[in-house]
Amino acid sequence: MTITKVGMIGAGSMGGGMSLLLAENGISVSIQDPSTSTVDSLIQSAKGQNITSGTLSKHTEYKTLCDSLSSPKVIFFSLPHGTVGDTVVEGCGVSGGYQAARRGPSMCPGGQEKALEIVLPLLEKMSAKAGDGTPCVARIGEGGAGHYVKMIHNGIEHGMMSAISEAWTFMNKHLGMGYDEIGKVFEKWSAESELKNTFLVKIGADICEQKDKSGNHVLADVQDKVVQDIDGSEGTGIWSNTQATSLHVPAPTLSTAHYLRIVSAYRGHRQHVNEAFHDSFKPPKLR
């Protein structure tokens, strides 16, 4: 069965990006969003990108959106999680953020095998591809297994990023190593150690060595993005830690990483403490 038209409920950064990606692949997309201006902007964006392979159509009512689709109807829900209700769609974890939603995400659907047989060819068409061309899509299991795996994936990713940050801090603050020197260490780890081909380590090296037009390291000018006492991190880190605790699974790296993400939101507090103690929290040099 070839799917030529789908519905997309939610036209934000993820839903909008996937709509453009589907249209580029020749799929007609019927779109509905609580904000009609969001849909209008998406359609204008498609025109600006000369996307003509598929079509994007705006719907203000669910009925007209459903009527525009042939059976079996394939509808993507790209909305914030709501309250528990009837399970209509089991869920599909989408990895890579809004950039991947536009260019091709990794996807981990969960649900009934019969339903997935219908949509897997479409997901494989729009997904990211491995180096050998294999679609980055796999049926994870029954029910909401796809979203569950994506949640734990994010928790592990938080732990890895925190460990890399800790290694960077140790090399820079304690050993006095420069950005290029640290970048070379990360490159070596990514090339030949147990961390070989680790994406986060590789981009860590790139970030350390990146320079602007004047030859200055970009990293030296990067300020803490969080300038208010808020924690705008996504919920997957919280849920991963909650699951680990409730299932009695020891995951100290995940929990430590999450608390560090929270404390990073309190930039003002950190500055106040640092000033109160007269900058005495500077890490000691080890060489």
Q: Which residues are catalytic?
A: 150, 157
Task: Determine the length of the chain.
Answer: 287
| Buried/exposed code over 170-202 (b: 16+ C-beta within 10 A; e: otherwise) | ebbeeeebebeebbebbbebbeeeebeebeebb
Which structure tokens are listed for 271? 């500055």
* Dihedral angle of Cα 220, 222, 228, 234, to the nearest 10 degrees: -130
The amino acid at residue 11 is A
The amino acid at residue 84 is V
The amino acid at residue 248 is H
- Rounded to whole angstroms, the Cα distance separating 107 from 78 reads 13
* Contact (Cβ atoms closer than 8 angstroms) between residue 168 and residue 179: no
Q: Distance of alpha carbon 37 from its chain centroid, rounded? A: 25
- Rounded to whole angstroms, the Cα distance separating 212 from 56 reads 39
Handedness of CA 98, 101, 107, 112 (dihedral sign): positive
- Rounded to whole angstroms, the Cα distance separating 110 from 93 reads 8
* Contact (Cβ atoms closer than 8 angstroms) between residue 75 and residue 10: no
- Rounded to whole angstroms, the Cα distance separating 96 from 46 reads 21
Residue with tokens 């060595």: 209
